[in-house]
Structure 1
Amino acid sequence: MAGVLLVTGSAGCGSDDARKDGASPAPVGKILADRDQDGRPYREVGREDAPGVGIEVQPDAAGGWDVHLTVRNFRFSPAGAAARPVAGRGLARLFVDDRPVARLRTPGHRLDTRLVPRGTHRVTARLYADDGTVWAVDGKPVESTADITASEPGPGTSPDAASRRTARTQDPLTGGRGSPDRARGAS
């Protein structure tokens, strides 16, 4: 006598908790030989649905700098997230003149004045997967850079008036430069 086994539900590998938030449990992207300055490998993903980031840096009233990131196809993972890559998730690392200064799990951050002395500086936000790999498109890290210039306040000058800000971003998806506002519409 032949038996029939009926199986219902979804098939596949991975835990159900990885699917609750819509994330794929499958491996994501391809690991490249290229690495960032800390030796972290690049994780190449296709242009379609690739994460993106824009950065805006403005002087604040206390003499520091407010940083705001605009992301698309990307969500910040909470602290304690599993150290595995999930499509479009992770954290941002903030660099001033190629020197790491912060790990961000939210789009906002304040840079203290001691991190941005007088002069012109490059502030870069780069996206990382939760396993520490760098999100990359066409062999280039997914990042955005703003150039800022800090000057000393003069007598009777407020910190806002003393600090000038210019910003430009590099969009790895289009290869073009533009204002951070261009990336605001997508998230």
Structure 2
Amino acid sequence: MSWTRGLLTVLAVCALLAALPAGLTGCDSGGAGEGDGVNPSPVGKVLEDTDEEGRHYREIDKKRAPEVAIEVQPDADDGWDVRVTVREFRFSPAGTKEGAVEGRGYALLRLDGRGIAVLRDPVHHLVGSLVTRGTHQVTARLYADDDTVWAVDGEPVESTADITASEPGPRRR
């Protein structure tokens, strides 16, 4: 009969915990991660520093941090092919639930510091008309799905490539 007393004790404790205000027990997940297999605990530390749009940096240990590299090549149609290579990072599909999950999110593509595209996969075509004559910087910066910037040592996880566009030569008839 000792198992019934143990069961009654467990039920009594559960009833007492359920009667306490939400969050007081330390068990409240705030809805995050319920049913989606995501750990509800926060990832990294949100810093006071922000990017150009006011999005806070999310500091993560260098050992666990994602990495990004960018390569930009001219294409045959007067545009540019952008390829982003990542390590310890997976692109989240559009419509992903907001939240910071280690090693997941999206990349924001910038041209000379101005945001031009949200990347949910590693390939993008940059239209030639966006790139005027001269040398420009194309940057890919990694974000968590809650729009915080992945950062290491207070610096955003990003990669930049320089591209140079020249005036088109005279057209042949």
Partners of 1:26 and 1:54 in 2: how far apart?
29
SS at match of 2:107: strand
Matched letter for residue 145 of structure 2: D
Partners of 2:71 and 2:171 in 1: how far apart?
27
Partners of 1:25 and 1:18 in 2: how far apart?
9
Mapped pair 1:35 → 2:54: no
Shift of 1:151: 0.4
Partners of 2:130 and 2:48 in 1: how far apart?
31
Matched letter for residue 37 of structure 2: A
Shift of 1:153: 2.1
Matched letter for residue 17 of structure 1: D
Partners of 1:47 and 1:130 in 2: how far apart?
19
Match of 2:2 in 1: 2
Match of 2:72 in 1: 57
Partners of 1:47 and 1:132 in 2: how far apart?
20
Partners of 2:125 and 2:168 in 1: how far apart?
19
Match of 1:140 in 2: 155
Aligned partner of 1:94 among 89, 109, 118: 109
Cα-to-partner distance string for 1:76-104 (whole Å, 9 max, x where unaligned): 00111011100000000000000000000
Q: Is the helix fraction higher in 1 or 2? A: 2
Q: CA RMSD in A?
A: 2.1
Partners of 1:50 and 1:139 in 2: how far apart?
12
Q: Which has the larger radius of gyration?
A: 2
Match of 1:25 in 2: 40
Partners of 2:107 and 2:82 in 1: how far apart?
12
Cα-to-partner distance string for 1:145-182 (whole Å, 9 max, x where unaligned): 0011000121368xxxxxxxxxxxxxxxxxxxxxxxxx
Matched letter for residue 2 of structure 2: A
Match of 2:59 in 1: 44
Matched letter for residue 15 of structure 1: E
Q: TM-score, normalised by structure 2?
A: 0.80
Mapped pair 1:154 → 2:173: no
Match of 2:82 in 1: 67
Partners of 1:119 and 1:25 in 2: how far apart?
47
Shift of 1:113: 1.1
SS at match of 1:114: helix
Match of 1:81 in 2: 96
Query: How many matched pairs?
Result: 149
Where in structure 2 are there 5+ consecutive unaligned residues? 11-27
Where in structure 1 are there 5+ consecutive unaligned residues? 158-187
Cα-to-partner distance string for 1:23-67 (whole Å, 9 max, x where unaligned): x43210000010000000000000112111000000000000000
SS at match of 1:132: coil
